[in-house]
């Protein structure tokens, strides 16, 4: 795998944008994972790619790992909504008062995403940006983002 250029900007090669469904995105992710296992340098290079911002570290991208039990894996708080930004437990909601047996986060801190049933969330498509050099036919990296309807 080629080395990415380090820095805040993507390398000046072509950027190819397209969308794929979640299943295709998983295949791409598995392919990347298999490359990591077969190349001794791959882990190091992967880190460089991440530092260069070429691979998405978004929660959804992480969730593409091991897609077999995607449905079973616990979701994580988004970290950006108002409830997530609350640092302190209110101490007076039912969840706070029932902390020991209830094992639930303070109601004021409950992430907006996690309030929804998983069945209410539908990933419509996955946007991919490929960074590549078409003179060499080399892909330097990609980013992944999802849209949810």
- Side-chain-side CA neighbours of 64 within 13 Å: the count stands at 25
Q: Tokens in use for 112?
A: 């907006």
Name which position in 27, 39, 58, 98 contacts DNA (CB under 7 A).
98
Name which position in 17, 88, 101, 135 contacts DNA (CB under 7 A).
101
Q: Rounded to the nearest whole angstrom, what is the least distance from the CB of residue 29 to DNA in the complex?
A: 16
Which range touches DNA (CB under 7 A), out of 43-51, 107-115, 121-129, 141-149?
107-115
Give the helix, strand, coil percentages of the chain, each rounded to 5.
40, 20, 40
At 101 the three-state DSSP class reads helix
At 102 the three-state DSSP class reads helix
Which range touches DNA (CB under 7 A), out of 5-13, 27-35, 49-57, 72-80?
72-80
Question: According to the binding rule CB under 7 A, does residue 114 interact with DNA?
Answer: yes
Residue 76 or residue 136: which is nearer to DNA going by CB? 76
Q: Rounded to the nearest whole angstrom, what is the least distance from the CB of residue 67 to DNA in the complex?
A: 13
C-alpha 54/C-alpha 51 separation (Å) is 8
Are the C-beta atoms of 81 and 113 separated by less than 8 Å? yes
| Contact positions vs DNA (CB under 7 A) | 72-77, 94-95, 98, 101-106, 109-111, 114, 118
């Amino acid at each position: 795998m080629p080395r990415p250029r380090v820095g805040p900007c993507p390398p000046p090669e072509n950027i190819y944008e397209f969308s794929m469904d979640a299943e295709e995105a998983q295949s791409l992710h598995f392919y990347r994972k298999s490359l990591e296992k077969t190349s001794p340098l791959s882990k190091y290079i992967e880190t460089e790619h991440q530092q260069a911002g070429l691979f998405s570290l978004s929660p959804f991208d992480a969730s593409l790992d091991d897609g077999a039990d995607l449905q079973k894996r616990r979701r994580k708080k988004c970290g950006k909504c108002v409830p997530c930004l609350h640092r302190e437990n209110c101490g007076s909601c039912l969840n706070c008062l029932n902390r020991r047996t209830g094992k639930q986060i303070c109601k004021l801190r409950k992430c907006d995403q996690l309030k929804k049933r998983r069945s209410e969330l539908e990933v419509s498509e996955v946007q991919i940006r490929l960074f590549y050099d078409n003179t060499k036919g080399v892909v330097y990296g990609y980013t992944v983002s999802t849209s949810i309807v």
